[in-house]
Amino acid sequence: MTKRFWLAGTLLAAQVFAANISMAESVTFNKDVLPILQRNCQTCHRPGNIAPMSLLTYESARPWAKAMKAAVVTRKMPPWFADPQYGHFSNDPSLKQSDIDTIAKWAESGAPQGDAKDAPPPIQWPENGWTAKPDIVLEGVPYTVPPAPAKNVIEWMTLTTATGFTRDTWVTSVEIKPSELAVTHHICVSFVPHRPNVVYNSLLWVDKQRDEEGVEVAPSERRIALPTADGRGRDVPSGIRNNPPPNAAAENNRGADDARGGVGLGFTCYVPGRALSDFRPFHAGLLIPAGYDLNWTIHYTPNGKELTDRPEVGLTIAKEQPERLLIESFGGTDQTKFAIPPNDGNYAPLPSEITFLENAELVWMSPHMHLRGKDMTYKLIFPDGKEQVVLNVPRYDFNWQLGYDLKQPMQIPKGTKLVVVGHYDNSVNNKFNADPNRTVFIGNMTWEEMFAPFFAITVDKTVSPAKALKFNFRSAGGA
Ligand code: HEC
């Protein structure tokens, strides 16, 4: 459908629906609003999840009636940033215009509860804030985030814990659940081979030298915290890096056979708006060899209160062997050339380019940039030269790290390229930009930048993940 056609259709539908509403008796919570909340809002708006209030019941939703109307009419809620022109996504929570009208009408007419018998049965969300009921829960290590540390920087930490897998195991979903969402910027996990000298259950980090604005100064002067008996770490000067940034991991990807992808198997992140990676809809899983460990990367940001986070990872395990193997990875750019000039409102780094060396199906994408991120577009270039945009996020918002699940997996013949372009806004027009007068380089902190187009593919289960992708960019990481 052309855009004009689509718009006309929507307007027509809205008019027809408005007529229906005025004829109807009244719009009530139980009959009209609750079904919408169940479908489009409760994944986030329930106890233990990222939204500040629960929309499970009339009692908890009623005080928010006016705010709900405002949030849906302006399309601030539910958060969704994909350009509807490209791709159809199974997790798209966007409301139909008729749903928006229903919520608005309900809020305007005094937000009545209606008859209890009209209410749909409540959704049975798994206990304790999980989205998928886990078969196995792996625990992290508690960390107390201080109310205001020096310079407000808590460096990324890494952690290794045992999986306890005594035989090769097909994992079909990975969900990461911090207990203190307010201070958790992100947590990523992946499965890595066991190293004989590995130190379990100890949080490690590199104390980087930073200037007064918190920007990393001289990578060569980085220091590393080694684990000590009390598990608190000790500062030693070092050229060692125990915490490579994601693009360095992508660099490792090229050669690492054992870890089957550099960052390890099943690289999955918790970020606001995304906690669960579920491979079951794609009949896919991760084959985790016996004895593998779980590697965590954790980034906390203080929010003024002292809070102790106790993160957990929930896994579902396949009863039968899935048909396909899932590979999650991400692109990058030439980091040595990445430098956003001061006041540049539309900086484009060199595109990310990855070649698929095996037939694959693209199932998921998730753009990642920091505060100056502006837009990102994923495009496939097929071996016959045909091009197709598979995801366009025209107004990237750092506060929402959403993942986009393709409704229909996209067939990718061997030899296809995934090319991702992005832009950054380092001007005063970007309200998240703390300082438009400085050149911005790649770095871990939100005031530094990243260019990390995440994606997931499935391949035949006989394919070796280390040989499925070729990264056609050089990154400075890993050095
Ligand atoms: C992906 C998770 C997610 C979904 C889905 C979602 N919300 Fe939210 N919502 C949040 C978070 C997080 C906040 C708090 C941060 C913010 O306001 O941006 C929020 C805030 C709100 C607010 C307060 C806004 C304000 O201005 O203070 C309202 C009202 C709201 N949501 C309504 C809804 C409704 C109605 C739906 C469904 C139609 C919905 N949300 C779907 C995560 C979500």
State in Å: Cα 182 to ligand 1 middle: 15
What is the pLDDT at residue 245? 34
**Ligand 1 contact, 106 CB (< 6 A):** no
Which amino acid is it at 387? Answer: E
Q: Is the CB of residue 78 below 6 angstroms from any atom belonging to ligand 1?
A: yes
> Phi and psi (nearest 5°) for 298?
-130, 135
Alpha carbon distance 417, 355 (integer Å)? 4
Q: Which helix (H) or strand (E) holds 91?
A: none
* Residue-range domain boundaries for the chain: 3-125, 136-471
- Within 13 Å of residue 85, how many CA atoms lie on the same side as its CB? 11
CB-ligand 1 contact for 315 (6 Å cutoff): no
Q: Is 63 in the pocket of ligand 1 (CB under 6 A)?
A: no
pLDDT for 25 equals: 65
The pick from 32, 45, 90 for probing ligand 1's pocket by mutation, whose C-beta has the most ligand atoms within 8 angstroms, reads: 45
pLDDT at 149: 60
Q: 80 CA distance to ligand 1 centroid (A)?
A: 11
Q: Which residue's CA is the closest to the ligand 1 atom numbered 28?
A: 68
Distance from residue 54's CA to the centre of ligand 1 (Å):
10
* Nearest of 314, 289, 290 to residue 189 by alpha carbon: 314
Any atom of ligand 1 within 6 Å of the Cβ of 317: no
CA nearest ligand 1 atom 1, residue: 273
Going 382 to 365 to 263 to 170, the CA torsion angle's sign is negative
Q: Alpha-carbon distance 143 to 28, whole Å?
A: 45
How far away, in angstroms, is 99 Cα from ligand 1 center? Answer: 15
Res 478: pLDDT: 31
Distance (angstroms) between ligand 1 centre and the Cα of 81 equals 14
Give the residue whose CA is nearest to atom 35 of ligand 1: 68
Query: Which residue has its alpha carbon closest to ligand 1 atom 29?
Result: 68
Does residue 35 line the site of ligand 1, with CB under 6 A?
no
Which ligand 1 atom minimizes the distance to the CA of 36?
38
Instruction: Give ∠ CA 387-466-241 in degrees, rounded to 5.
Output: 105
Q: What is the mean pLDDT of each run of 10 residues along the chain (479 residues)?
A: 39 47 73 97 87 94 97 95 93 95 97 96 88 94 80 77 94 93 87 87 75 59 32 30 33 29 68 81 91 91 88 95 89 88 96 96 93 97 97 92 90 97 97 89 81 92 86 56
Q: What is the pLDDT of residue 316?
A: 97
Does the beta carbon of 102 sit less than 6 angstroms from any atom of ligand 1?
A: no
Euclidean distance between the first and the last CA atom of the chain, given in angstroms as a whole number: 49
Assess whether the C-beta atom of 354 lies below 6 angstroms from ligand 1: no
Q: Verify whether ligand 1 is closer than 6 Å to residue 409 (CB atom).
A: no
The answer as to CATH 2.60.120.230 being correct for domain 136-471 is yes
**How far does CA 467 lie from the centroid of its chain?**
25
Question: 148 in ligand 1 pocket by Cβ < 6 Å?
Answer: no
Does ligand 1 come within 6 angstroms of the Cβ of 341? no
